Amino acid sequence: MSTKPSVMFRDSQLVTQKPAALDSGQLLITGCEPAVIGYLRDTFVREGLQVTALPEEQAVLRVRQGFTPDVILLQVIGRDALGALSALRESRPNIPIIVVASFHDAPFVVKAMKLGATDCIRLPFDLEGLKASVRRMLSLVDCVAEDDVTHETPLCENTSFVCASKRMGEIRGQCSILARVDLPVLILGESGTGKEIIAQYIHKMSPRAHRTFLKVNCAAMPADLLESELFGYEQGAFTGAVKAKPGKFEICNMGTILLDEIGEMPAPLQSKLLQVLQDGTFSRLGGRTSIKVDVRVIAATNINMNAAIAAKSFREDLYYRLNGFSIQMPPLRERKEEIPIMIRHFMRKLSGKYARQPVTMSETLFRACMEHDWPGNLRELENFIKRFLVMGDEQLMLVGLRNARGNRSFAATQASPGLENGGGLKQVARSAMGEAEMEAMREVLDRNNWNRKQAAVELQISYKALLYKIRQYGLVPAPKRAVAGY
């Protein structure tokens, strides 16, 4: 263990961005209603901002000519009147644009977000809410050059949404808008990237925040058990059903449900879920009456949904129902600037949980962390910090990172190694082993009709290990094994 640790952080606390005062910054206000534009101009002039108020055409022209305000307020009077938003975003991709409109329905908000709106505010608006949005945008502008500034939003006990990269800042902004609009959200990304955290953040920022939030893992149980878990059952519906039990959708009425690993949902349940999304009704197992609920559905998956639809293992109509708006979570290797912040966050969180003092990292270990690709993403990093906190042995942690890197290098050679590539006899042997493993897994999966739970049991490996291998080898169900009738 290193005896001369370097100082990795300026302090032991996570630096949280503080709200900026509305006393500086250049604001461009534009739109088609002079009365509204004048009111907004007077409001923010009184707050000390430098305000430029222009009609839409003039505003677009000024921006194209090089005018670069810190924030743009765009007032919209029609649902399809977003041409100025497209033009402004095309000219200045990095300037925050707040859209204000007299409507705030889901199709409009989704369209505005796809065209580049940073926030959407409804008219007649809450003036303090509008000021808060402008303040947040100015804070983002002020902190572009700050390497040690981040956002941390507590969600529940020992859980926070932490972001310190531009991409995650954009996702945070999208979630803040989506939270106010009641439409399904599909969160995509590799395992461990924080999809559940995003779902919790959307719920916490939404009007449903005081209601129930529940997570259901669609890959953790067989179809019959999952159906009873989601929709409940009546007394006598099956052997052992001695009394009626409500399902998660009933428990979550007026709240939010996260359907994790939605891509693994058994085919028979997909049509029932589609009905819930269409009209909010379903029946318990063994029930004869329909139950109506108001539940916001957020779904998450780490599989390639397009491939699943092509293989007919997932219904295309259900996909489009779930995909009111999709969020693609970037892997940790694509936002490495967050690694120092997340190390500090996990160190603080876990040291409190285990009643231990935070452990200081040496420069060598810190550099190894920055160079590591973290295929398990945030979950892998958290487990790494947990082991480091408990063991306190830097050499052991360095060996672990090196071994992990070596395993990935071995996996990378499975595709096209051989003597002709200078790999030698050992590399050829490893390639053959990898191909044999892949074919064995494919055979077992096909034999079990791609029931991953049964295949994992037969292969005598864990379910998560099987999912990792499926992704590693790019295995997908063969079309001939597809579920018919979709």
In whole angstroms, what is the distance from residue 349 CA to residue 155 CA? 13
The list of the chain residues with pLDDT below 70 reads 1-24, 125, 140-151, 157-158, 405-436, 478-486
Contact status, residue 100 vs residue 109, Cβ threshold 8 Å = no
Homologous superfamily of 26-142: Response regulator (3.40.50.2300)
Contact status, residue 13 vs residue 150, Cβ threshold 8 Å = no
pLDDT on residue 62: 92
pLDDT on residue 202: 94
In whole angstroms, what is the distance from residue 201 CA to residue 154 CA? 9
Compute the CA torsion angle 274, 275, 280, 283 (nearest 10 deg): -120
pLDDT on residue 215: 95
The CATH 3.40.50.300 portion of the chain extends over 166-328
pLDDT on residue 239: 83
In whole angstroms, what is the distance from residue 315 CA to residue 317 CA? 6
pLDDT on residue 479: 53
For the domain made up of 166-328, the CATH class stated in words is alpha beta
pLDDT on residue 253: 95
Q: Would you identify the CATH topology of the domain 424-481?
A: Arc Repressor Mutant, subunit A (1.10.10)
For the domain made up of 332-412, the CATH class stated in words is mainly alpha
In whole angstroms, what is the distance from residue 479 CA to residue 486 CA? 13
pTM exceeds 0.75 for this model: no
The CATH 3.40.50.2300 portion of the chain extends over 26-142
The CATH 1.10.10 portion of the chain extends over 424-481
Element housing 357 (H / E): none
pLDDT on residue 189: 93
